[in-house]
Amino acid sequence: MNLFANLIIILTALIGLAFRVTGEAQKGPDGRTHKVVFEVAIEGSEPWRGVLRNVANVQKALGAKATRIEVVVHGKGIGMLLAKTADADPEMRTMFRKLHAEGVIFAACENTMRRMQITTKQLLPIAITVDSGVGEVIRKQEAGYSYIKS
């Protein structure tokens, strides 16, 4: 085989692996796949740790591989995804790493970021941004996600 053919084989394998890792959640013991969106619009380290514990509890109850979870922060909740917050709270930093490694998505509202003059560089590296936090929650509910307000 030539170099081009080898590259095609390697790229195909990598794309397949990426789809397997980021694809749909598997079915749990109950034969279902669960989709959950957590909305966070509250402030304070203790409530934020509570949200992260709730996310972990959902994964434990329903199966981490059988759940797709997105945590959407906006308004007063935006501080949850600031790097300086996690840096100041080792428990939260550890929880973020573990949950992110298990596929939990953490999304920050761009409207709130603009209003509060927060840049993406100030967010945790694991965070993504969405145009509107409330809009994202609506889109997730329309896609069949269960809604949890924090």
Q: Where are the domains of the chain?
A: 26-149
The pLDDT tens digits for 100-149 are: 999 999 999 999 999 999 999 999 999 999 999 999 999 999 999 999 99
Q: What is the DSSP string of 63-101?
A: -GGGEEEEEEE-GGGGGGGBHHHHHH-HHHHHHHHHHHH
CA 53 to chain centre: 14
CATH superfamily of 26-149: DsrEFH-like (3.40.1260.10)
Q: Which residue has the higher pLDDT, 145 or 16?
A: 145
Q: Which of 135, 102, 107, 112 is nearest to 25 (CA)?
A: 102
Does residue 64 contact residue 102 with C-beta atoms inside 8 Å? yes
Our CA angle for 80, 86, 90, nearest 5°, is 135
* pLDDT per residue as tens digits for the range 51-94: 999 999 999 999 999 999 999 999 999 999 999 998 899 999 99
The three-state secondary structure class of 58 is helix
Which pLDDT value is given to residue 40?
Answer: 98
